[in-house]
Chain A
Amino acid sequence: MALVDWSRAQFALTALYHWLFVPLTLGTSFIIAIMETIYVKTGEEIWKRITKFWMTLFGINFAIGVATGIILEFEFGTNWSNYSWFVGDIFGAPLAIEGIMAFFMESTFIAVMFFGWNKVSKGFHLASSWLVAIGSNLSALWILVANAWMQDPVGMRFNPDTARNEMVNFWDVLLSPTAVNKFLHTISSAYTYSALFVIGVSAWYLLKKRNVLFFKKSMLVAATFGLAASIYMVLTGDESARQVFRTQPMKFAAMEGLYQGETNAPLVAIGIMGQTPNDENSKNNEWLTKIEIPNMLSYMAALDPHAFVPGVFDLVNGNKEQGIPSYYDKIKMGKKAIKALAMYKKATKSGNTQEAGDNLKTFKENYKYFGYGYYDNPNDLIPDVPLTFYSFHTMVGLGMLFLLIFIFTLIYTVKNKIDRKRWLLYVALWSIPLGLIAQESGWIVAELGRQPWVVQDYMPTLTAVSNINHTSVIITFVLFTVTFTVLLIAELKIMLKQIKGFNDGGH
């Protein structure tokens, strides 16, 4: 494996590991705040015990997840130095705000949340619980804004003297449709997963016929929260996909397994891909089997059932009828931009202002496709279509399943029949790992689907990597794998012990 592959593998491993814990923090913090609100409003002690139980699990998850994100920042500076420099102050401001928010809001009020029972007023304790929830979600906002900028770079200007992107409009970056949709979809998916976790753990207790009333009440809150979250997750997911269609059409084509573009494009709801077609005239059997919904892809992409949805080959070869430039044209412009930047730098150093001016003009005219200039073969600009397709469809399919789980759980909990529906309790229990699979699949779509780009259209992953000895990357990759696996096992044992050993004081 090349240096860039080891660096990518390391980042993927640490990011996937980090994302095992973050969704639970984001979502259970709100579930706990809701449970505590019910306690304060009703005064019923059982709700206090319910809040404290889930708060302990929240705390365990929070502690397990501590510092897992820091490693990613280390990797920016060591393995991805060109990228870190290139993104300049786009990332600096959001990540700094994330750190400040995490420190002040979460850390301060988490102490009150855990240590403040019977020491502070009910109102102050409740406010602290809500502020922990809000604080953790606001922390997530900033890193998601940064990631959204990678997918859809806006609000910046590239400085050819410093090789840095400089933020020219903070609000363009913060409020870009990509950033807004990414944030809302990510947090709603985290809330969905957290609700699944609460329902799953509660289901285990109901299957064992232990602490039945306690966990029925927990389920009621989680199912209601989860249903609202999953509906919103579907809506924001739909809007996010439309955003991807507009700003990352190749990723969209990969998500849908679409090689040949068409109007009235059908949606492949379920499919097993066959041989990858080599070009638009290929006779390869793209699909072994599929279930399609006519016109649906056009409608979902552009809210028009007759809209043209470009496929992989339309983007690579261009489509004059649809006004789509080819990757061949973009590559030509990109090469001009790269050459012009190099010549501009040379001319500036030698004091040749005329030549510097001419090259700067050429650079600015062609900068839009800068990243394409690194490639000779447009096929190298296509992400892994099958992996993107399957990850996307796994995520969507599971999301729909979770919606059904919440509906049935809520109905049977309200009817007080949930403990008799053992089939549903088993489904709920097994939905915990399925929720994790959905979460990680979503990130695979987002990050693998954007390849070869690390900053869409401007910087491919290959140029982002530091020129370091790849033995050190291999060593740290192995170190991470071993250390984090050992820590994860230890941490999960603590979590499982806490879950299994709970007894609601004989109530």
Chain B
Amino acid sequence: MVEVETTVGAAVPAVRIEKLVKDFSVPFRREKLRAVGGISLEMAAGEVYGLIGPNGSGKSTTMKVLLGLIAATSGRTEIFGVSSGKVSSRREVGYLPENPYFYKHLSGAETLRFYGRLCGLRGRELKARIGELLELVSLEDAADRRLGGYSKGMLQRIGLAQALIQEPRLVVLDEPTAGVDPAGSRKIRDLVLEMKGRGISVILCSHLLEQVQEVCDRVGIIHRGQLVKEGALEDLINIEEQTDIVLENAPPELLEEIRAKVDGSGARLVRMGHPRTTLERLFLRETGGEEGRERGGE
């Protein structure tokens, strides 16, 4: 298990973005396209932060600036107190881009070895780390198979493993479940929860709002390059004036009694009925879950 240092993280935020602006030049046109228009946010170490927004809202651009892949037009971005412009800021970061394609000629183990060596890992330490990560993403059986033969879900998982290779304190996941079937998607969600359990800070950019809701501590909503809403998930989605009561095996008489009491109390009964499962849970139950399905390849 990875021991995460929290001494530094307690004082320094994992991510700090201040008044970030990013303009792109448009060929043959004088005016520029503003992709990000003054976003500021701060993310504490160990937190899982969901960045959600429609296509083209500026999520990926914000992440690219944070990772130093593109330069900000103005504003400042930092990772654990180090400016994103510095290469050293990337020592603490793992990144999984949207729809990643790794080198198809390499096997899963070779891919992790390549990224591990780029991060300075060597010898037994690297070998042990590769084994640990392959187990974590359930790809031990496909370790020696070339990535050209991997399914989309397997590619995303090996991508997640490469993001974690140097035991980063921050992981940035850009649409990690895009194009992945529900079983693979659930597996990736479980891995995010596992990272959270290890104290790794995670930024999750996703369209799948249900998934963001399940794993994130805080959420930011980006629209047209602006952070329109931001805060702790519970604060954002709680409906303070309503209360859920879920009963199991309640007889009809009890339900009638509750209804009558509610009517006489001045409160309003908004809804009473059978709760529903989600389509995802139904799918997983009917298809036998995700375990083992992709282990040997699809």
A binds B: no
